[in-house]
Amino acid sequence: MSVAIRVIPCLDVDAGRVVKGVNFENLKDAGDPVELAKRYGAAGADELIFLDITASSSDRETTYEMVKRAADELFIPLTVGGGVRSVSDVDQLLRAGADKVGINTAGLDNPELISQAAAQFGDQCVVLSVDVRRATGCPSGFEATTHGGRNSSGRDALEWIIEAAQRGAGEVLLNSMDADGTKNGYDLALISAVRAVVDIPIIASGGAGKLTDFHPAVVAGADAVLAASVFHFNELSIQDVKSELRSNGNEVR
């Protein structure tokens, strides 16, 4: 049975505002997260992802109040990540209204966190969020980074994704740091490489710029396609993306 491809807007949140940059730098304001969440819910998004992109680097907790306000407005699944350091953080986000929680930097620092979160809340609640860049020093040619792509982890990205899946991560949010914000298309080689080693769902992230970018990501192995700036600044609509995917023979919701 084929599974419908999900189209997911991503809200990168910094200090309570949605922002967008290129390769995680030169951020510009894209609006209020709760207002955007409402807009995307009404526009046919299948899910929504909130990433507090400076929570780990500035040692600040994700804003639970903002999650509560957004969850109250949404009737689609909400994933929240950024600054998640403990099982208690996961618990608080789920209580605030998140359906799934993304674990990134803290998982690399303490892989046991993924095992504990999956054991306590179920693997369907645990999303491995991984910011990947090309690196010649890693066996696969891809490295997992930390702190919003600012720091090297020294871990091979594919090895880390395999380990996290074995520990109970139910899904991987695969963000290409090299493609992020460039609008030159998804990193298809990265998606294919991850698809070859794990069978959990892959959310492709980083690089969407035009309608023809989405179908190739699905062909490469993505189960969901994520975009940010093209949606925030009304360059593409969610329904346009779904129509494009449908026209290429993909099932969408």
* Catalytic-role residue among 131, 187, 213, 223: 131
Burial 33-70 (b: 16+ CB within 10 A, else e): bbebbbbbbeeebbbbbbbbbbbbbeeeebbbebbebb
Catalytic, 131? Answer yes
Positions marked catalytic: 12, 131
